[in-house]
Structure 1
Amino acid sequence: MVNRKDLNPDASPQAAFGARLRSSREAHRWTQEGLSERMGVSSGHISGVETTRKTPSLHFAKAADSAFGLLGTDATFERQWHEMQHGSLLEGYPEYVGYQNRAAEIRLFETGVIPGLLQTREYASVLADAAVQRGDVTPEQATERVNVQIEQQATLARTPPPLIFAVLDESCIRNPIGGAEVMDRQLSRLLEFAGQASTFLQIAPYSMAERKPFRRLVYLLTMPDRSLMSYVESQTQGHLDRELSSVLPLVRNYHQLQIGAASQADSIAMIEDLRKGTLR
């Protein structure tokens, strides 16, 4: 083959993505033009991704999964794309998202910021822009992150929808992300969420103090077969866990959290008072 560029998958995450794309294509005995027809992107773009001259997008990764029959598996190009975008900070998160999209029940706890499933695009964009300013991500990566986050919210619209339990630390609704107008629209979004038939919202008030079992993000999934898994994040990495010995204590603590948190009615009242400026 003329002008065939050797690929080194160890050179970078992008190079690993490109090398895998080429090896998968060649395993199917497809030319770049043949894959182009199956993915709906130009053969030149495929060549660019394989040789790292072009950076794959989320749309590109999903199109590759469709072409290679990887949708719904644990070895998708989409998962590799997420890992390439977010690195070790969100290790395990792409896999978590795959399970979240099939879960029967989703339990969320957050502190400081509204969980991604409940964020408005404006709120998510403010957080992404801040990551750009810190130098954590590029503007392109920030845009992709927001798009991914909003796409994940399709989980809420499934038929039948999953049961979603969200307990938010009081700091989530008081932290003025993006200023008053952004927060007002975000709080309105929380009220809409609480009004759905398959969703439950509670605020864990500051007064819970030491009785609050979690000090960081905790997500819990119950799958259709009733198996359980957890996803937690520290400042430097995320971890998906399916071992019952470590997941069950988190489930028990989550139930204790729900018992101590404000009821949904009282939580809604807190949010409405905060929007009016009457909550102290």
Structure 2
Amino acid sequence: MESTLVNRKKLNPDGSPQERFGVRVRRLREARKWTQDELAARMGYSGRHISAIETANKPPTLPVARALDIAFGLEGTLDTFERQWNEIENGALVEGFPEYVGKEATAAEIRLFDVGLVPGPLQTSEYAAAVEAGNVKRGSITAEQATERVDYLIRRQAALVRPLPPMMIAVLDESCIRHCIGGLEVMERQLARLIEFAEQPNTSLHIAPFVMGELRPFNRSVNLLTLADRSVVAYVESQARGYLDREITSVAPLMRAYHQLQTEALSQAESVAVINQVRKGTS
């Protein structure tokens, strides 16, 4: 009998990625005739933690996945728990986003537009953490998933730092700089980060002011990538899902609309001036 009180909840091996993770942990543990406490001791966790993982009551983290791989001798194989964790993590992200980020990491040019929130590549880590903390409070993700999302963003940003960095053009709706995230101090540092971004030789920053009204062509996040072969892909995101589009017949109108947006938006000098004006209210 296991020393940890075991919840023998029957899991569906064909269920959610998190359920499949738990089913596999239980199957491999029982095949070795280990109790939850014995597996936990090998990993440096508690038996209750293992029970929660097996019953899908707690989402696995990357450190847990790696510890499981060590305990079960799966390191270096093609079927690690770390790989399975990545499937869960990507599943928690907006559909289509991981594929987009992979292409963004090698793109020659990146064009960003967003409403309400500063685009990910321009976010400070504390701004990103505040955004995810809001998601935790609303119950849409767990605290662990929030930490993992911020870590994912940091890795995404790091991939853009390379010997020949991409040309990055960002057009932000005015709401991005006026929507206070994380409190005044966090927002002040985020606005300062935008100024730093504008000062880089490979960047261009523009604010689309509220007075643009109906001339603003987009009402949601739009990203356009020019790849090394000069092909262009578009990523358009809503609240629940994203869509990566490679078809020139649909990408070309988005690129044309983006150029129109950039033309109607404030110049970089005007945009920096507006950001500094907003900063006076956060300091």
Q: What range is the shorter-chain TM-score in? A: 0.7 to 0.9
Give the structure-2-normalised TM-score.
0.75
User: Which residue matches 1:80?
Assistant: 87
Which sections of structure 1, spanning at least 5 residues, go unmatched? Answer: 1-6, 22-31, 33-41, 71-75
CA RMSD between the two structures? 3.4
Q: Match of 1:161, as an amino acid?
A: P
Instruction: Return the alpha-carbon distance in structure 2 between the equivalents of residues 163 and 62 of structure 1.
Output: 36
- 1:102-113 → structure 2 map (5 Å cutoff): 102-113=106-117
Q: In the alignment, is the contact (CA less than 8 A) between 1:155 and 1:161 conserved in 2?
A: no
- 1:58-77 → structure 2 map (5 Å cutoff): 58=62, 67=76
User: Which residue matches 1:223?
Assistant: 227
Identity %: 54
Q: In the alignment, is the contact (CA less than 8 A) between 1:62 and 1:77 conserved in 2?
A: no
Deviations along 1:29-86, one digit per CA (max 9) or x if unpaired, are xxx9xxxxxxxxx7899xx7x967785435788999x94689xxxxx76762433323
- Identify if the C-alpha distance between structure 1 residues 160 and 137 changes in structure 2 by more than 3 Å, giving closer, same or farther: same
Instruction: Return the alpha-carbon distance in structure 2 between the equivalents of residues 97 and 58 of structure 1.
Output: 19
User: Which residue matches 1:39?
Assistant: none
Deviations along 1:126-146, one digit per CA (max 9) or x if unpaired, are 111110110000111111111
Aligned with 2:257: secondary structure?
Answer: helix
From 250, 258, 275, the counterpart of 1:271: 275
Instruction: Return the alpha-carbon distance in structure 2 between the equivalents of residues 255 and 164 of structure 1.
Output: 14
Instruction: Return the alpha-carbon distance in structure 2 between the equivalents of residues 246 and 78 of structure 1.
Output: 34
- For the pair 1:127 / 2:131, whether they are aligned, the reply is yes
Instruction: Return the alpha-carbon distance in structure 2 between the equivalents of residues 61 and 193 of structure 1.
Output: 36
- 1:64-213 → structure 2 map (5 Å cutoff): 67=76, 80-86=87-93, 90-213=94-217
Which sections of structure 2, spanning at least 5 residues, go unmatched? Answer: 1-10, 26-31, 33-41, 70-74
Deviation at 1:200, TM superposition (A): 1.1
Q: What stretches of structure 1 move > 6 A for 4+ residues in a row?
A: 18-21, 42-45, 50-54, 59-64
Q: Match of 1:102, as an amino acid?
A: T
Aligned with 2:121: secondary structure?
Answer: helix
Q: Match of 2:141, as an amino acid?
A: V
Number of aligned residue pairs: 248
Deviations along 1:158-200, one digit per CA (max 9) or x if unpaired, are 1211111110000100111122111111000001111111111
Q: In the alignment, is the contact (CA less than 8 A) between 2:234 and 2:246 conserved in 1?
A: yes
Q: Match of 2:118, as an amino acid?
A: I
Instruction: Return the alpha-carbon distance in structure 1 between the equivalents of residues 280 and 43 of structure 2.
Output: 55
Instruction: Return the alpha-carbon distance in structure 1 between the equivalents of residues 217 and 170 of structure 2.
Output: 15
- Identify if the C-alpha distance between structure 1 residues 16 and 97 changes in structure 2 by more than 3 Å, giving closer, same or farther: farther
- Identify if the C-alpha distance between structure 1 residues 203 and 59 changes in structure 2 by more than 3 Å, giving closer, same or farther: farther
Give the structure-1-normalised TM-score.
0.76
Aligned with 1:157: secondary structure?
Answer: coil
Instruction: Return the alpha-carbon distance in structure 1 between the equivalents of residues 43 and 55 of structure 2.
Output: 14
Q: In the alignment, is the contact (CA less than 8 A) between 1:14 and 1:52 conserved in 2?
A: no
Q: In the alignment, is the contact (CA less than 8 A) between 1:216 and 1:233 conserved in 2?
A: yes
